[in-house]
Amino acid sequence: MTEPRQGTAKQDEDAPPVQTFLRYTHRGAPGLADTVFEVADLSVYYGDYEAVRDVTMAIGRRQITAMIGPSGCGKSTVLRCFNRMNDLIPGARVSGKITYHGEDLYAPEVDAIEVRRRIGMVFQKPNPFPKSIYDNIAYGPRVNGVRKGLDDIVEEALRQAALWDEVKDKLKESGLSLSGGQQQRLCIARTIAIKPEVILMDEPCSALDPIATAKIEDLMHGLAQDFTIIIVTHNMQQAARVSDRTAFFTADVDDQGVRHGRLVEYDLTGQIFTTPSDKRTEDYITGRFG
């Protein structure tokens, strides 16, 4: 479990690079053949403040991509661009481009609600709804208009989230009665239930103890068979353990003393943690900074 997931990453290295994609490839994302997202020169603003500047990266299909970096480096901000959760913050806007299977996520005709039905999200603090376990899972399908077969959807989602055995006898109990780790797996199950293609995870384990964290990491390996996962984490060991690729962000201070988040390096996780090409990455992962 402490080994980086080199298996799938190796295959990608062997895969032929796709020409159209190369334009967006950040240095150190070699041969990412099958991409879900392509991000080009993305900047995110809150009002006049440029929180993240010029991010260019691609996210591989059915891979786990980790985003690491010190606080305030904009990694969560970038994550929230992928399902347009930043739309909910007044004054937030983006420049540059994010495409999802070639389609511009921020095109005027794109409906943020449709986006979120395909790109699910798990939050830092487990946030089960104050409803039963069953209703927590069934909520997503229900708001998407599913009326039939909910029992099967709920069971399948809970099984995929490795929670079924623990809760199958108490589906009517409140989701809030579960432990923190179970609540977070409930939230993952809730996201799986709408069958998204991508799951965004915003520091999903930062409120959990090591045992619960280990369970979620195991779960992520399984989920990567079916889903594309992007995880923001403070925990470098976690990034090393779970991810295929790692993006290292940091905050630059400009001439006016304003901090802007930046993508420093994006590469196979093994590369980032053994032979990073940027000094700042090396300093961060060796604990000299951040």
Partner 1 sequence: MTAVTDREATGAPPRLVGPRRPLEPAFRLTLLVSLVIAVLFLVILLVYVVTEGWPRLDARLWENFPSRLFPERAGAQSAIFGTVYVIALTAVFCIPIGVMTAIYLEEYADRERWYNRIIELNIQNLAAVPSIVYGILGLGIIARGIGLGITLITAALTLSLLVLPVVIIAAREAIRAVPNSIRQGSLALGATQWQTIWRQVLPAAVPGMATGAILALSRAIGEAAPLLLLGAVTHITFSPASLTDSYTVLPIQIFNWIKEPEAEFHTLAAAAIVILLTILLAMNSVAIWLRNRYQKRW
CB 172 within 8 A of CB 132: yes
Which listed range, 93-101, 118-126, 155-163, 273-281, lies at the site for partner 1 (CB under 8 A)? 118-126
Joined tokens for residue 131:
């409803």
CA dihedral of 176, 181, 186, 189, whole degrees rounded to 10: 170
Which listed range, 22-30, 101-109, 124-132, 157-165, lies at the site for partner 1 (CB under 8 A)? 124-132
The CA-atom distances, in angstroms, between 123 and each of 14, 29, 88, 130 are 34, 27, 15, 16
- DSSP-derived letter for residue 174 is B
Of 134 and 273, CB closest to partner 1: 134
For residues 214 and 80, give the distance between their C-alpha atoms in angstroms, rounded to a whole number: 24
42 binds partner 1 (CB under 8 A): no
CB 81 within 8 A of CB 98: yes
Q: Which of 114, 151, 173, 226 binds partner 1 (CB under 8 A)?
A: 114
88 binds partner 1 (CB under 8 A): yes
Nearest approach, Cβ of 238 to partner 1 (angstroms)? 21
123 binds partner 1 (CB under 8 A): yes
Nearest approach, Cβ of 182 to partner 1 (angstroms)? 16
Q: Which of 83, 99, 246, 271 binds partner 1 (CB under 8 A)?
A: 83
176 binds partner 1 (CB under 8 A): yes
Burial 130-144 (b: 16+ CB within 10 A, else e): eebbbbbbbbbbeee
Of 144 and 179, CB closest to partner 1: 144
Of 54 and 87, CB closest to partner 1: 87
Q: How many residues bind partner 1 (CB under 8 A)?
A: 25
Alpha helix positions (H), 50-179: 75-82, 112-118, 133-143, 150-160, 164-167
117 binds partner 1 (CB under 8 A): yes
Looking up tokens 């915003």 gives: 202
Q: Which residues bind partner 1 (CB under 8 A)?
A: 83, 85, 88, 90, 113-114, 116-117, 120-121, 123, 125, 127-130, 139-140, 143-144, 176, 187, 190-191, 194
